[in-house]
Each structure stands twice: as structure tokens, then as C-alpha cells.
Copies of this chain bind each other. A is one copy, B any other.
Amino acid sequence: MGRARTVFFLSDRTGLTAETLGQSLLAQFDDLQYTPVSIPFIQTREAAEDVVRLIDQAATQDGLKPIVFCTLVDDAIVDLLEASAGVMVDLFGTFVGPLEQALEQRSLHRAGRSHSVANSRHYHARIEAMNFAMDNDDGTAQDYASADVILIGVSRSGKTPTCLYLALQFGLRAANYPLVEEDLQAKTLPEALRPHRRKLYGLTIDADRLVHIRQTRRPDSTYASPAQCRWELDAALRLMREEGIRHIDSTSRSIEEIAATILHETGVRRRFF
């Protein structure tokens, strides 16, 4: 038997698009073992020729044709790669022609225009939103009036990463408020949150997972004990239900999925596309 098949993700820019779509496609093949190789910033013929050598080498070593996902704009570079031993999956070129027809407009065929967020207005909105998330993390500052959304949940239920992702991907101002023991014993929404009820969204998490996460932070603490975790989660869920606050279980979902779900369910408008 040869080695696992090599899969290349090639791009003239960051390679993110090739990786994202390529991985989604490969996820449709059960138990597929492969060795991923990402090569971004392929912008010259020389760079492309080096890549062809790598593909051909992998083909020989694996005894299997590499799959080559690419988002390359320059036709000359694509042509070079077509001559390799890999199976080309041209994520870009495949659709440019049909789009030119539909839009009745020639495309630029020019690299370096791929990332929509490179422009300065978006850049500022993202940075501002990320600053907001960091400044309004874990109930330290409370500029809830400026927030687009406020995530609530027990400590380590995934609020902070989700807030940062909402800021990065959608430019949203996402604050978060950790429901601590006193909040949960009071069995009502904390004072600070009440005026902003419509912005609230809850995160829950499986108790065993929470125990595990808390154990890595504070081993053998009450904070990380199964009894404490279960009590907090039950109380938080009850509070969310009683207050009619939408919530999602973060356990088996990626940060991307949680964020997209929040956007979808709340109808909050992203600040850029």
C-alpha cells in the first residue's frame, strides 16, 4: 500500500478559499485519509514550476494522483499546473466563464483582488469590533448599550471565542456576560442585562465537556467539579427558558456554526459582507 493521498490547496493569495471549499468537498468522502499541503502566494511562473515538481513527487511517493484544489486567477499559471500529475480542481476558472456570460462583462483575470475585507472601511470595522469584544469580555466593562448582541452563559461555555469570531467575520459588536453563582441563585436576569433583553443570546454546553475544559484551567477545584458544573448548567438553562432567551448548545458545533446560527436566529445585521 502507498501512503495517504496528498491533497494540495493552491492559491495566489492566502489559500483560505481553496482550503475551505476543498475540505468541505473532501468531507463528503467517508474515511478518506489524506495529507494536506497548502501553498499560498503562488504569483510567478517559477513558483508554479516548483509546485508542479512537488505535485509530481507526491504522485510518485504516494502511488496515488494528488488532488489539487486551486483558486488561481492567472491562466498561464493554471496552464502550468494542468501539466502536473495531479487531478486539478479549478475552483476559480470553472466559474469565471459562466459568470462573464451572466454578467455580460469581461473579468479582470488579475490576482490579488480576492479578499473582500481588505478595504479600509471593513478593516476598521473589524478592528473596532474586536476591540469591543475584548473590552466587553466577561462582564468587566459593560457597554451593553453599544452592543449588537450580548452572549450569556456559565464560565467556559464558549462565549469569548464566539464574540471574537462575530467581530472578526461580521464586524459585530458582541459583548458577553458570564452567569456566575450569584446570578444563578437569584434566578432572575442580572440587573445590568435587563434593559438589553432583546440582545441576549445564551450558550449552553454539555456538562462532561465543561468539566473537562474547567479541569484544564483549574484542576481539582470546586469550579471544575462535575456537581458544580451540572448545577450551574441546569440553573442557567432554567433561567434562559424562563426569561425566554434563545440559546444554543455549543458542544458539537464549531465556532463558525454557533456564530452563523446566532446571526440567523436573531436577525442581527452584519456590519459588512
Closest 7 A/B residue pairs (Cβ): A14-B260, A28-B107, A24-B114, A118-B254, A87-B102, A27-B113, A23-B116
**Min CB distance, A20 to chain B, in Å?**
5
Name the B residues within 8 Å of A24 (CB-CB): 17, 71, 92, 114-116
Verify if A52 is at the interface (C-beta below 8 Å from B): no
Residue of chain B at shortest CB distance from A261:
B41
Cα–Cα distance between A124 and B168 once the two chains are bound (Å): 19
In the assembly, what is the distance between CA of A17 and CA of B32, in Å? 21
Cβ of A87: which chain B residues have Cβ within 8 Å of it?
98, 102
Residue from the list B36, B89, B120 in contact with A99, Cβ < 8 A: B89
Distance, CA A91 to CA B107, complexed state (A): 18
Q: When chains A and B are docked, how far (Å) is the Cα of A15 from the Cα of B259? A: 11
* B16/A260 in contact, CB under 8 A: yes
**How far apart sit A273 and B9, CA to CA, in the bound complex (Å)?**
11
Interface membership of A228, Cβ < 8 A: no
Contact B264 A28 (CB under 8 A): no
A86 to chain B minimum Cβ distance, whole angstroms, is: 9
Interchain CA distance A114-B113 in the complex, whole Å: 26
- Provide the residues of chain B in CB contact with A25, threshold 8 Å: 92, 95-96, 99
Cα–Cα, bound, A110→B89 (Å): 21
Per-position binary interface string of chain A over residues 80-101, scored 1 when its CB falls under 8 Å from any chain B CB and 0 otherwise: 0000000101011011101100
Given A161-B168, A168-B168, 18 extra CB contacts under 8 A: A5-B103, A13-B257, A14-B256, A14-B260, A16-B256, A17-B20, A17-B21, A20-B20, A23-B273, A24-B115, A27-B113, A30-B105, A67-B99, A89-B98, A118-B252, A127-B158, A127-B213, A130-B160
Pick from B105, B209, B273: contact of A36, CB below 8 A: B273
Question: Binding site of A, secondary structure by majority: helix, strand, loop or mixed?
Answer: helix
Chain B residue contacts of A213, Cβ below 8 A: 124, 127
For A126, the chain B residues whose CB sits under 8 A away are 161, 255
Residues of B within 8 A of A127 (CB): 158, 161, 213
Cβ–Cβ < 8 Å partners of A115 in chain B = 24, 27, 254, 256-257
The reply on A179 being an interface residue by CB < 8 A is: no
Q: Contacts A28-B110, A107-B28, A164-B168; is A260 near B15 (CB within 8 Å)?
A: yes
Residues of A1-54 at the interface with B, using a CB-CB cut-off of 8 Å, are 5, 13-17, 19-21, 23-30, 32, 36, 38, 40-41
